[in-house]
Structure 1
Amino acid sequence: MTFEQVFTIFKDYMEQDKELEVVKTKKGYLRIIWSGGLPYCEDGYLCRTPEELFDRLLSDCQSFHENRLTKGCRELTPEDTERAMELCRPYLEMRKEAEGQ
């Protein structure tokens, strides 16, 4: 798998999540979460391989969907977690296809 394939797989998610940014650095790609309108990032994570970036974005995507399901106003239920996992399942399927090429 390549970085370009990871970006293709997560294109729709990355367009939806307005707090997410991925920036190319000399050492890999830095995934940054910007919280609201604050002038500093809440979280940054360096991904040195496409697999690391895929795993990080998959985790971020699940959190994104969990937050959307709860609207950030209530505790997460097992059903919310299952639904978020279902919404992320296509990314895992696309990864299998990309690795099979």
Structure 2
Amino acid sequence: MADELRGIQSQLLGDVVDHDGGHLFGVVQAARARGFACATAPSSTPTGLAFFPADTSVPVRHLAERTNNIVHWTELPRGGHFPGLETLALLLTNLQTFRRNVR
């Protein structure tokens, strides 16, 4: 399965992804080169982020705040990349809290 995923990554991203999962900088550069836009100006849209400790990526708040209006940031005690399947109650509670705070 892991080899199959690496093959898909290589097909999608070319040579910017290494066999350890890739380098973010290279992925961003490849996306820009292929015409994908990256946010350059801050958004005024209220944004919430939930971080699950077993997820495959780790958000960095000061970087997220550069282009997003972060109004809700939660570091949850458990869960991973598929929180709707793994920790549905935590996810829903977090979404409800975000919605209440944005209103």
TM class, shorter-chain normalised? under 0.3
TM value normalised by structure 2: 0.27
Larger RCO of the pair (alpha carbons < 8 Å, separation 6+): 1
Structure with bigger gyration radius: 2
TM value normalised by structure 1: 0.27
